């Protein structure tokens, strides 16, 4: 993913090589309720969010799509959507095998 480096007055200029990483947080409240949160980060700057209700990406900067075409972005978002739904389903289906159930109490 190539992203133009913003250097304008409103954006801090990046120094040196910047990493891009994605964070996935999947929450499982009980046997039926689960939700994904997702975000994309260029260094310390968040440039992508994830709307778990609609299952679509949120582009937080005008340049968050990098040089990908709309078609490529749509395809990528669809891959993430299918993956995230599948991830929740697989974990929920195998919770007993993973022995993930716990009775959590504040200390
Ligand atoms: C499961 O958790 C969700 C979110 O906390 C809650 O709204 C729902 O009532 C819970 N369902 C059951 C069966 O406990
Ligand atoms: C985006 O930029 C990278 C790096 O310059 C290039 O390798 C890639 O082919 C470009 N992709 C598109 C879709 O233009």
Q: Tens-digit pLDDT profile for the chain (107 aa)? A: 455 555 555 555 555 678 999 999 999 888 889 999 999 999 999 999 999 999 999 999 999 999 999 999 999 999 999 999 999 999 988 887 876 666 667 76
Q: Which atom of ligand 1 is nearest to the CA of 32?
A: 1
CATH number at residue 82: 3.30.500.10
Residue 9 lies in a domain: no
pTM of the model: 0.72
* 30 CA from centroid of ligand 1 (Å): 6
> Are 47 and 60 in contact, with CB atoms under 8 Å apart?
yes
Closest residue by Cα to atom 7, ligand 1, is 33
Check pocket membership of 35 for ligand 1, CB cut-off 6 A: no
pLDDT of residue 19: 93
Q: Which atom of ligand 2 is nearest to the CA of 66?
A: 1
Residue 26 lies in a domain: yes
Residue 86 lies in a domain: yes
Residue 5 lies in a domain: no
Rounded CA-CA distance 47/54 in Å is: 18
pLDDT of residue 102: 63
């Amino acid at each position: 993913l190539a992203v133009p480096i913003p250097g304008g007055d409103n954006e801090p200029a990046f120094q040196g090589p910047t990493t891009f990483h994605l964070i996935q947080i999947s929450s499982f409240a009980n046997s039926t309720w689960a939700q994904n949160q997702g975000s994309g980060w260029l260094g310390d700057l968040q440039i992508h969010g994830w709307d778990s209700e609609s299952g679509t990406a949120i582009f937080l900067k005008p340049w968050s799509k990098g040089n990908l075409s709309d078609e490529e972005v749509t395809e990528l978002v669809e891959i993430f959507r299918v993956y995230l739904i599948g991830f929740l389903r697989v974990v929920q289906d195998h919770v007993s095998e993973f022995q993930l159930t716990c009775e959590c109490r504040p200390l």
